[in-house]
């Protein structure tokens, strides 16, 4: 590190001021990183955390794998009812959308507590190869949606001869 000296030439009285400024800078950077990881997009579109809702913030994890004959897309949708899921194919993109709902209820003597949480999600996955739109199978098992899409018949490659211009 290079020592920093203020306009006064770095007198000893400047040391506490510099330490305080460095401490504030360090705190500001820490807060920036905390907000980045705790509140994606700095809380845009989120409800306050004390409401305990994930409305507008939840996005399911997606895994895409490509085999010789098919593309497999696995989407983690724990707690989502299969009837609330929509799967569509448009061109070279697969879209999975729907709504996640959760309700909890607690009753005790003189106490009643109900919480409802909901939020919609949408994930669009670009497909790595052309697919046969008629040969798609979607299965939901234990919170995981698996979509298998057969690849389109590959066009046969042919060699194109190069003609040389005569001068």
Instruction: Give the tens place of pLDDT for each residue, 106-117.
Output: 898 888 888 887
Least confident of 80-89, 146-155, 158-167: 158-167
65 band by pLDDT with thresholds 50, 70 and 90: very high
**CA max distance for the chain:** 100
Q: By C-alpha distance, which of 133, 124, 126, 125 is closest to 151?
A: 133
**What pLDDT is stored for residue 25 in this prediction?**
83
Over residues 84-92, mean pLDDT: 91
Neighbours of 46 (CB within 10 A): 16
Mean pLDDT of 141-157: 81
Helices (H), the chain: 15-38
| CA distances for 45 relative to 49, 58, 99, 119, 121, angstroms | 12, 11, 16, 11, 13
CB atoms under 10 Å from CB of 24, counted, come to 10
């Amino acid at each position: 590190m290079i020592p920093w000296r203020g306009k006064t030439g770095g007198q000893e009285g400047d040391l506490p001021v510099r330490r305080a400024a460095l401490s504030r800078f360090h705190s500001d950077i820490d807060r920036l990183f905390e907000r980045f990881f705790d509140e994606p997009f700095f809380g845009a579109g989120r409800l306050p955390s004390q409401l305990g809702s994930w409305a507008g913030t939840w996005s399911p994890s997606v895994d895409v794998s490509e085999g010789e004959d098919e593309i497999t897309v696995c989407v983690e949708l724990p707690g989502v009812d299969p009837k609330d899921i929509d799967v569509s194919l448009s061109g070279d993109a697969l879209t999975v959308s729907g709504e996640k709902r959760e309700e909890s209820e607690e009753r005790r003597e003189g106490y009643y507590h109900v919480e409802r949480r909901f939020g919609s999600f949408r994930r669009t996955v670009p497909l790595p190869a052309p697919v046969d739109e008629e040969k798609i199978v979607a299965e939901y098992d234990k919170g995981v949606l698996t979509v298998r899409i057969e690849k389109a018949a590959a066009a046969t490659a042919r060699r194109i001869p190069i003609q040389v211009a005569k001068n």
